[in-house]
Chains A and B, each alone.
Chain A
């Protein structure tokens, strides 16, 4: 990078711009929501160069955006948001990520944290026993090809039909638990093969099931509307579409590479491979992606079912009596066709969010009726040692970031560096001394997920709030963590 290239320019306290002059191929500027420290981190791993790269995409509207938890990714940065026009724009699998519909959901309970803390070891042990996780974690029930087709087409709705969870759950999941226009027939045999044995499996890496305490409430009206109260026990689930999503991404990148070569797109990074939304390749990717996203929704629905069952077993009453309501479920790796305002007109755009969460404001028709007055809930998973958050989307977010906000903390250290710093077992003991019980399928690599490996989630959330993208509702502290 030559020293003559302009560096990001600060626009206000929480917004930076990468001018188009940074790189001659940029069609629009880059906009990064960050404070000084987070911007310095983004400069260190050259993530902001990736923001500039995304600005090369044909048909990109207004700007290439990035959230405060921005860090280096494959092509698109993690925390990247980009909207492309349907007529002349492209869709890029790198703007969705390998783990299609990786996402988060939060289950309430009517239990107090004290009741849960008293049984936390048994709870974590039971969760560990009943939820398959980690490398090679095989599903409790192997799907038939017919079942898999149902899952890919209907998502969480298939699960409810087959006894996993309640029909009310669907009201508080994005798109009512089913991403429409999914086409399972477009998935390769390999993608399907990987899905047969993975429904209701946690995966590994930064996926988790976490038993939490609502430690703080910032907006009591919003909290009441969501059914949250201070001192309450809740359960957060963070997982995605497992091998299905990974395979769909891998398969689609192959196709897209051919399109890029044929159309002679001048892309600064091969991983930005894309195809026009209006083309067969573009349409097919979106349909396959939706099928994979449905698998992600179904996956979290199945895991939630076993979480409820585990609590039923240990507390001896039904999960209904325990008040284990689903509060909301969001994806943070997805591309969706949405209506937004551009220059005073309502336009349909393909909004890519990779490591960023949809955050629609009050009044938006896609927000469930029960929450429409306050806005769409957003769950932000933190790291094992600190905190997670519940936020709400805002009207300002619709204007500033296509209705998007951050998704988590963002990595600070590579997995290798994190493991070097502390052994998994030592970390587990340290967390236990702080009151967090960890059940890990794989203690050796637990340090990859250590708090010190991640940026400060509270800082990331504060920037989103200051920038107007979200409102803080509550903060949760971990009591027990299940990892793959």
Chain B
């Protein structure tokens, strides 16, 4: 998946939505349940992997699928955010492929053309 954003926060929010889009129709997810996320990591790439893995973990253990990702604050190595979604429903959300994990393979977070781009490969 290739995600883009004008700043790092927007990049991370779009990456979250991009990952959900692999699994379901983001537009059909109502933001009725929210979770707070706080992450610390060594570098931007690891931060991105942890961020996406956090959403996947909640999907698996709580059965929620997230359509809204809002970064409250972030740096190169920390972020705090609120993500919102609802219990996933195969029919309502148009469930597609399950994302099982985020990999480090060819992982890139870089500044490009006045904005930010991320390349992430998922284990599906």
**Interchain CB contact under 8 A, A98 and B42:** no
Using known A-B contacts A190-B57, A194-B61, determine if residue A415 contacts B103 with beta carbons closer than 8 Å. Answer: no
* Complexed CA–CA distance, A435 and B57 (Å): 39
Contacts of A75 in B (CB 8 A): 105
B96 cross-chain contacts in A, Cβ below 8 A = 444-445
CA distance A193 to B59 in the complex (A): 13
* Interchain Cβ contacts within 8 Å, total number: 64
Q: A271 and B103 in contact (CB under 8 A), knowing A98-B123, A193-B61, A194-B60?
A: yes
Which of B53, B60, B97 interacts with A415 by CB under 8 Å? B97
Is A205 touching B103 in the complex (CB atoms < 8 A)?
no
Contacting A at CB under 8 A, from B83-124, are: 88, 90, 95-98, 100-107, 121, 123-124
Q: Which of A98, A135, A250, A253 has the most CB of B within 10 A?
A: A135
Given contacts A194-B61, A444-B96, contact A269 B105 (CB under 8 A): yes
Is A74 within 8 A of B95, CB to CB? no
Q: Which of these, B97, B100, B103, contacts A445 with CB under 8 Å? A: B97
> Given A190-B57, A444-B96: A253 and B104 within 8 A (CB)?
yes
Given contacts A194-B61, A243-B60, A442-B90, contact A270 B107 (CB under 8 A): yes
Q: Once bound together, how far apart are the Cα atoms of A43 and B100, in whole Å?
A: 27
- A250: chain B residues within 8 A (beta carbon): 53, 101-102
Residues B60 and A254 in contact, CB atoms below 8 Å apart: no
Chain B CB within 10 Å, residue with most, of A75, A99, A136, A197: A136
Provide the bound-state CA to CA distance between A253 and B101, in Å: 12
Give the residues in chain A near B107, CB-CB below 8 Å: 270
Mark A360-373 against chain B: 1 for CB-CB distance below 8 A, else 0: 00000000000000
Nearest-Cβ distance from residue B37 to partner chain A, whole angstroms? 13
Shortest CB-to-CB span from A238 to chain B, Å, is 15
Pair B104/A273 contact, Cβ less than 8 Å: yes
A456 at the interface (CB under 8 A from B): no
A17 within 8 A of partner (CB)? no
Contacts of B106 in A (CB 8 A): 269-270
Q: Is A386 an interface residue (CB 8 A)?
A: no
Q: How far is the CB of B25 from chain A (nearest CB, A)?
A: 12
In the bound complex, residues from chain A placing their C-beta under 8 Å from that of B80 are none
Contact of B98 among A135, A193, A269 (CB under 8 A): A135
Q: Within 8 Å CB of A204, what residues of B?
A: 98
**1/0 per residue A50-74: CB within 8 Å of B?**
0000000000000000000000001
Q: With contacts A135-B95, A190-B57 known, is A246 near B104, CB below 8 A? A: no
The CA of A74 and the CA of B123, in the complex, are separated in Å by: 8
- Which B residues are CB-close (under 8 A) to A270? 104-107
Cα(A250)–Cα(B101), bound, Å: 8
In the bound complex, CA of A144 to CA of B46 (Å): 32
Q: Does A249 contact B (CB under 8 A)?
A: yes
Q: Mark A425-450, 1 if CB is under 8 A from B, else 0.
A: 00000000000000000101100100
Q: Which 4 A-B pairs have the closest CB atoms?
A: A74-B103, A74-B105, A135-B98, A271-B105
Task: List 22 A-B pairs, Cβ < 8 Å.
Answer: A74-B103, A74-B104, A74-B123, A135-B95, A194-B57, A197-B61, A205-B98, A247-B57, A250-B101, A253-B104, A257-B42, A257-B46, A269-B105, A269-B106, A270-B107, A271-B103, A271-B105, A415-B97, A442-B90, A442-B95, A444-B96, A448-B97
The interface of chain B, by Cβ under 8 A from chain A, is 42, 46, 53, 57, 60-61, 63, 88, 90, 95-98, 100-107, 121, 123-124
Other than the given A250-B102, A271-B105, 11 more pairs (CB < 8 A) read A74-B105, A134-B98, A194-B57, A205-B100, A253-B104, A258-B42, A269-B105, A416-B97, A444-B96, A445-B97, A448-B97
- Mark A residues whose CB is within 8 Å of B: 74-75, 98-99, 134-136, 190, 193-194, 197, 204-205, 243, 246-247, 249-250, 253-254, 257-258, 269-271, 273, 415-416, 442, 444-445, 448
